Amino acid sequence: MSELSRIRTVILPVDARKIGRLRAVPNPGDLLDELEIELDEDSEDGQSLRQAAEQLRSSHIPVSFPTETVYGLGADATRSAAVQGIYKAKQRPSDNPLIVHFASLAQLRAVLRSQKHTATCANGHVEYHPHSDPIPDIYKPLIERFWPGPLTIILPNPPNSPLAPEVTAGLSTFGARIPRHAIALALITLADVPVAAPSANASTKPSPTAAEHVAYDLDGRIETIIDGGPCDVGVESTVVDGLSRPPLVLRPGGISIEQLQSCPGWENTEIGYKNAAEGDSQPRAPGMKYRHYSPKAPVVLFEAGREPPTAAELRRYTGPNARLGIVRTRSWKLDPENHSSPIRPLTETEQTNAEEAHDQAQSSTPGFAGLLEIIESTREPRKALQKCVIQQEGQPITLLDICLGPHTAGIARGIFAALRELDREDVDAILVEGIDDAEGVTAAAIMNRLRKAAEIRVGG
């Protein structure tokens, strides 16, 4: 038995509303306000968070924690042995760089200045000297608008960097972001170290958007999973390189290229990624080179505008189990009584009715103050899996159907969970209804992930 298989994995439920007192403190003259966290050491939630923070500081085994995008697998970014634990647990290629998560701009600036971060000074707050700011000016409009949030910026790794070399995978740069999730921010603050954290899944598998997904992939490989509930965004952060000319989007995610182009200095931003693997070159950001997001069952992606598969087409994708997974989004309707076309296009009236479902709005308040506004928010649960049996040429085919609905945000939150749930049902293949990736926001990110997951793509 290997060393990894002997690890006992524990899931610690943590409610962001019960960890203690959170307060957004204005920071005049700087790019962001500050998040002040007073941990409730008497609450079980606060104690669990303290325990996980101590593991981050001292252990070589990574800790899984929720962010607004997906669940992360975190380790102290300044210790090689700890970062190596991430690659070991995920079985991740060593040339795939990691994103470093910070709880404040002060913590990020300390790394860029190659010095140990000190949390407070005489007046109780971090000193800020704008004339010596190590954060490149090109990123400041993005930080003011999108942080904390699903945006990773590529920064120069300074001489004598405190970051472990395994974080950058040999590159002269590193990716950094401040997550928009109270539990993640509290954990990083308590650990008082920058945290390297890719998604908390086995390498190449669908990204985890719930604690149970992490446990399914990494049970026995890590000690602690913080269960903070389902993730709000559902796809990883957008990665941007403002050090290049023109600026580039290296990975699509929760922030669209249109949103970036509306910021000063980013008007000419271009796409710097491909939807296929990048070959043998070293990736400049996570998700650029290797096949990702794939369940065990082959994924068949129907591009936007493609007619739903007929019963005869469904038969071609079946295997020995005669079970197919179906992930529907905007235009397909399940009609099992129609033996020739058990999946048909929605009528105009049906599409209108589906689009009337409300998708919760996000807070428009910037910075940590906006984060605190949405902590009490809840999400409408995704519709449950449905099963039906159709007959094709006298042979039964079981369809296992998940409808994510027409809204882009809901599709993003549910797509990885749907792939995982259907994979556990021993389906022969998973057929996915794609969406138009020209819509912006997160549509491009969804289709980027699905194209990387798909073994077969049916063109529009």
Mean pLDDT, the chain cut into blocks of 10 residues (460 residues total): 67 96 92 94 96 96 97 97 96 86 97 65 44 91 96 96 94 96 97 97 90 95 96 91 95 88 96 62 54 79 92 92 94 87 84 56 72 64 79 88 90 91 93 88 84 84
CATH 3.90.870.10 residue ranges for the chain: 4-271
- What fold does the segment set 4-271 form as a domain? DHBP synthase (3.90.870)
End-to-end CA distance of the chain: 49
**Torsion angle in degrees (nearest 10) through CA of 247, 441, 431, 329:** -170
- For residue 358, what is the enclosing H or E element? none
The answer, as to whether pTM is greater than 0.75, is yes
Q: What angle do CA 66, 292, 421 make, to 5 degrees?
A: 65
φ/ψ of 176, rounded to 5, equals -135, 145
What letter does residue 139 receive in the DSSP assignment?
Answer: G
Question: With contact defined as beta carbons under 8 Å apart, do 352 and 404 qualify?
Answer: no
pLDDT score, position 359? 45
Rg (CA), the chain: 22
- Going by DSSP bridges, is the β-strand pair 99-101/151-156 parallel, antiparallel, or unpaired? unpaired
**Torsion angle in degrees (nearest 10) through CA of 137, 138, 139, 141:** 90
